[in-house]
Structure 1
Amino acid sequence: MKQSFSQNMFILKELVIKGIRLKYRRSYLGILWSLIEPLLTMIVLTVVFGTLMGVHDKTFPVFILTGRLLFGCFSQTTNNSLKSIRANAPMIKKVYVLKILYPLSGIIFNYIIFMISLVVLAIVAVVLGVYPTVYLLQIIVPLINLFLLCTGVGLILSTIGVFFRDMEYLWNVLLMLVMYTCAIFYKPERLLKSRYGIVLKGNPLYCVISNFRSCIFGEVMNYKYLIYSFSFSVVCIIIGFVMFKKCEDRFILNI
């Protein structure tokens, strides 16, 4: 049974709304947690790593928060995508809905929550003296880049997760590796100049975070990072879509 574009968009919208509601179900503060949680994490990381590394820059919390927010978005969207098909198994077995809508809805609703959390970043930045400049107009580019990266990786994981359930645990380990190579709580300048700099430059999420920080701190984006991370994201989307469409008819046998 084929569905029209408008029907699919309506279903996708409802799945996104359902995802947001379920995420904060039984939470007294509800969606306010999307503002409070990154703020509390920023304070802890600033105290711990700022003290350990002897950082006295008053804008260091903004540096940490930018990395924390973007990594958090990537982590949440990919984890949700990884579990999306199995989590919606009862609905998939009973109702015909384009299966790709399930991982897409998880990516979109987590991305919406991430966009809301940017309010915290704006407030913290102004309070600590990081004021908007003309370079802030570039910010739409890394934000789009982040969404594309989450979508591409998410589609790949949503397919693998159906057939290889251990991927859920393996991905959590890989995410830890991604986190440490994103320079979230340490300044990357010294590492970039060493022979290990390729580890950061090879991480597309670090490239997105670096360009996002450039927009916040009033600098020109690194266009090599931009080209690499965009290219990586588009390739992931193509691979993820092909994998998903090729395997989706077998999902019902494995959920």
Structure 2
Amino acid sequence: MINEHRFFANFGKYRYLLIQLVKKDIQVRYRNSMLGIFWSFLEPLLTMIIMTIIFAFIFKRSIPNFPVYYLIGRVTFGLFQMGTMGSMTSIISNVHILKSVYVPKYLYSLAAVLSNFFTFLLSLIILFAVMIATNVQFTIYIIFASLPVIVLLIMTLGVGLILATVTVFFRDIEHLYGVFVMLLMYASAVFYPANIIPPQYQIILTLNPVYAIIDCLRTVLLNGTLYNPLTLLYATVFALVSLVVGMALFYKYQNKFLLHL
């Protein structure tokens, strides 16, 4: 079983190191970029413009405010995609540090997720700016957007820990997951209306926890109403289960990491 007391004690002890790892991950990501961290603003904005030009006419009757609809899906899925992929390679990419000094290994995966969460928060600035520009009405329900975001963060960390563990022993997971996450994006209704999916295939969206988060955020941010609590509950259960499984798997096999790196 996981020693929860030890886990959280290490978290407090190495909190400063975690902050430095997050900073390092952000710096490395934008090190060779002239615009640096400003790409966190420009990337979702530019992709929104391109996608709006391509799809807004096609879905104009189904999606009244395509730019906001797309951005919510884009930044939400982006956090899950980049966070899990960063966590997946966090152990193997820091092997030189792991072999020279003791650091709780889960900190590398956590830092990868948190650095992408920072990028996600920056992307929200663009999202809210576009909401204002397109006259989206801000309602009291916007405060409930924090709950799906927290669930998404937990889910990303849980899946990331699972991937980080498995990738140490099976490197092909990197390539397979790249294909899987692309298919998951198409199954998350990021740029198309969910109602165009035939009824017999709606189960794909229903069982997709990432889409559940996207749907909750679209409901409170774009529609100005409260999401279905059962939708958030499903995503929450999936996130907590993935976190528990990820922590248990990581804790069980972390002492064997160096033998396979």
TM-score, scaled relative to structure 2: 0.93
Structure 1 position 225, deviation (Å)? 1.0
Which residue, out of 138, 143, 161, partners 1:137? 143
- Work out which of the residue numbers 103, 106, 110 in structure 1 matches 2:116: 110
Identity of aligned residues (%): 39
CA distance in 1, matches of 2:51, 2:132: 19
Give the aligned partner of residue 3 of structure 2.
none
TM-score by length of 1: 0.95
Secondary structure of 2:14's counterpart equals helix
Alpha carbons of 1:5 and 1:76: their partners in 2 closer, same or farther (altered >3 Å)?
closer
Structure 2 equivalent of residue 206 of structure 1? 211
Q: 1:215 aligns with which of 202, 214, 220?
A: 220
* Structure 1 stretches lacking a partner, 5+ long: none
Is this contact kept in 2: 1:46–1:61, CA < 8 A? yes
Q: Secondary structure at the match of 1:52?
A: coil
Q: Which amino acid in the other structure matches residue 7 of structure 1?
A: K
Contact conserved, 1:38 with 1:69, CA < 8 A, in 2?
A: yes
More displaced stretch, 242-251 vs 40-49: 40-49
Q: Per-residue deviation at 1:58?
A: 5.0
Instruction: Select which of 230, 241, 248 maps to 2:247.
Output: 241
Number of the residue aligned with 2:47: 41
Q: Deviations over 1:125-162 (max 9, x none)?
A: 11001121111011111110110110111110010110
Give the secondary structure class of the aligned counterpart of 1:165: coil
The code of the aligned residue for 2:174 comes to E
Separation in 1, partners of 2:64, 2:210 = 25
Cα drift, residue 222 of structure 1: 1.5
Distance between the aligned counterparts of 2:241 and 2:29, measured in 1? 30
Q: What CA deviation, in whole Å up to 9, does each residue of 1:37-73 have, x standing for no partner?
A: 0011111111112233454855111000100001111
Q: Judge conservation of contact 1:67–1:209 (CA < 8 Å) in 2.
A: yes
Answer yes or no: is the 8 Å Cα contact 2:63–2:69 preserved in 1: no
Letter in 2 for 1:203: N
Aligned to 1:9: 15
Aligned partner of 2:231 in structure 1 is 225
Give the partner amino acid of 1:207.
A
Distance in 2 (CA, whole Å) between partners of 1:11 and 1:148 is 21
CA contact 2:88–2:167 (8 Å) conserved in 1: yes
Consecutive unaligned residues of structure 2, counting only runs of 5 or more, are: 1-5
User: In the alignment, which of 173, 176, 183 is matched to residue 177 of structure 1?
Assistant: 183
- Residue by residue, what CA displacement relative to the aligned partner does 1:100-133 show, whole Å, maximum 9, x if unpaired? 1000000011101101110000000110011211
Q: How far apart, in 2, do the equivalents of 1:253 and 1:126 lie?
A: 53
Amino acid at match of 2:209: P
Rounded to whole Å, the distance in 2 between the matches of 1:5 and 1:58 is 45
How large is the Cα RMSD of the aligned pairs?
1.5
1:94-105 superposed matches below 5 A: 94-105=100-111
Q: In structure 2, do the counterparts of structure 1 residues 216 and 4 end up closer, same or farther at CA, with 3 Å as the change threshold?
A: closer
